[in-house]
Structure formats: structure tokens, C-alpha cells
Structure 1
């Protein structure tokens, strides 16, 4: 296991459009003693309700959503480009059918009982504050439904407080 240090959140500097949208991340949580992760490329960071938060979007059909819904904690793990194949794998396979973390060549680590990906170089440990299902009625532009939800497989937006930042 790698040695992670707490990193001051006020020193955190990255471009969220690049870090999340182009480089991607893994959202990881657990339920019933099993860790599960999935690749995310939609989300962001900011301030809400006076707290430093992250927000992520997870489709209804994702196995990881079942885990996130059962647990009030999750992590966001950022890996360097050498792990692109693992990120692709975690976005294309379901933990419902296999140990996706191991099969992607990754390992779980834990802090405060929250699982995160040990190969990460930056980790956000998060406490879930809100879960809001996105519905078709909320779209102000009709092309959103056509382009992103033609089969009706909607997202839930999770807003979570960033409790701790870890770096190695």
C-alpha cells in the first residue's frame, strides 16, 4: 500500500474541466464489506451550503449507484495517465459480475472506513449531503434528452462534502 498524506484543501489547485472531464476519476464506495468503483467524467467541485463539495453524476443502471445509495461516504480518486487502461476498464465493466478493482489491476486502500484506489495520486474523501435524480422535466433544452438520454437511463447528482484530501 502507498503512503498517503493529508493535503490542505486550500492548497488544492487543478483545472476541474481537465481533471474530471478529460483525465477522468474513479468514484469508490462500499456496501456489505465489498468495495466497488466506477469511472466518472461528469462532475465538479465548488462550495455549497458553506462547505467545500464535489458533485458527481451516476446513471440509474450502474451497480456502483446501489453502493452509493447505501453508504453516506465515498471517495474520488485521480490517477495519472499511465492508468488510462484501468480507467477505461472500470468504465466498461460491472462490479456486479466480477471484482472490477482487481481485474483492472488496481487495489483498494481505506481511510476512516472509506475505500479509495491505492494507485491514485490524489484522493477526495467525501460525505454525501444530497442525492437528486435528474428528470426529463428539468431539461430546458430538448436536445439534452435526445443526445444524452435516448433510452431514459437518467443520472442522479450526488453532492458531497470533501472531508479530507489525500496525496502521495
Structure 2
């Protein structure tokens, strides 16, 4: 993979996040966990290139994200769609999803990511805040997306390094 500047990324973020999906990967101690995500964004905050991630409080990966300072966000190509569904439906509490996946786990400066990725964002946490219905301006969102109260925590992470698959 080769490094590019965030402003050189040409991939459509709406396609990349909402349609192609992402893998959020991090480690706690010597254990690595990952989960599929299809909500979030990229942009600029506090003069830095950032990604906005949301993780439900019930997700095992949230424990890992909260325990460390760094994480990766990987974008895989469409041939991995079934694998992305698997990562999103099976908990790392119950099995070693990464070992079963056949993906190649790499690490750079302590940040785990998948070298099978088309794109890998290596990130550092800047901000975390639990989301709440009390801040919604459109109450239908609570009924539609949080009927059981399983809310998200929003993270803003600085994109420290952006790696893309060499063509």
C-alpha cells in the first residue's frame, strides 16, 4: 500500500461509507477486534483531516476503541461483501472473527489494519461523546433507529495516515 494525503482521496465518501461499508479495527492489549460500520463521515475539524465514527454502546469493539488511542478504518472491495456482513453480525466476544476471515492483518505504528483493503485510514482519537435522544431535533430518529435505547457514541478521529492499494 502507498501513502497519500487525505485531500488526494478521490473516492466518493457516500459510496465508500454508506454502500461499500467500513471496518473499524483496533486493539486492546494484545487482542485485535474489528466491526463493520456503514455510518460516519470524513471532513475537517480543528484544522485536521478527520473521520466521524459512531459505535453502538453494545458493540464489543467499542470496549477496544475506548481502551486505546488509535484505530484504523478500512475499505475493502465488493468481493468481500459476505465477509463484511459476517464482521457486522458476529461478535468478537464469541469467536476470533479475524482469524476465521482469512484477511491479512497488518500493523503500522501500533495500529492494526487489513492489508487486503483498498483504503486504510490510520487514526488517532480526538473526541468521544455519547449520543442521546435529548439532543435530537427530529424525534422520529429516536423511534426509527433507537427503539431499544441502544445508542451510539460518536468519535472524531484524526486521519494520521491514509494508505491506498497500489494499482
TM tier relative to shorter chain:
over 0.9
CA distance in 1, matches of 2:7, 2:136: 34
CA distance in 1, matches of 2:101, 2:88: 10
Normalising to structure 2: TM-score of the pair?
0.96
CA distance in 2, matches of 1:121, 1:32: 27
Contact in 2 for aligned 1:116/1:123 (Cα 8 Å) = yes
CA distance in 1, matches of 2:131, 2:5: 32
- Give the C-alpha shift of residue 102 in structure 1: 1.8
CA distance in 2, matches of 1:25, 1:36: 14
- Give the C-alpha shift of residue 74 in structure 1: 0.4
**Which consecutive unaligned segments of at least 5 residues does structure 2 have?**
none
Aligned length: 165
SS at match of 1:17: helix
Q: Pick from 35, 55, 60: which aligns with 2:57?
A: 60
Flag as ranges the 4+ runs of structure 1 deviating above 4 A.
none
Q: Pick from 103, 110, 116: which aligns with 2:113?
A: 116
Aligned match of 1:75: 72
Aligned match of 1:24: 21
Aligned match of 1:157: 154
**Which consecutive unaligned segments of at least 5 residues does structure 1 have?**
none
1:82-93 matched pairs, under 5 angstroms: 82-93=79-90
> Comparing 133-142 with 41-50, which one deviates more in the overlay?
133-142
Contact in 2 for aligned 1:86/1:105 (Cα 8 Å) = no
Contact in 2 for aligned 1:35/1:108 (Cα 8 Å) = no
Q: Tell whether 2:123 aligns with 1:126.
A: yes
Aligned match of 1:105: 102
CA RMSD of aligned residues (A): 0.8
Normalising to structure 1: TM-score of the pair?
0.96
CA distance in 2, matches of 1:39, 1:103: 15
Q: Pick from 8, 22, 25: which aligns with 1:11?
A: 8
Q: Pick from 46, 51, 71: which aligns with 1:49?
A: 46
Q: Pick from 89, 92, 96: which aligns with 1:95?
A: 92
- Give the C-alpha shift of residue 10 in structure 1: 2.3
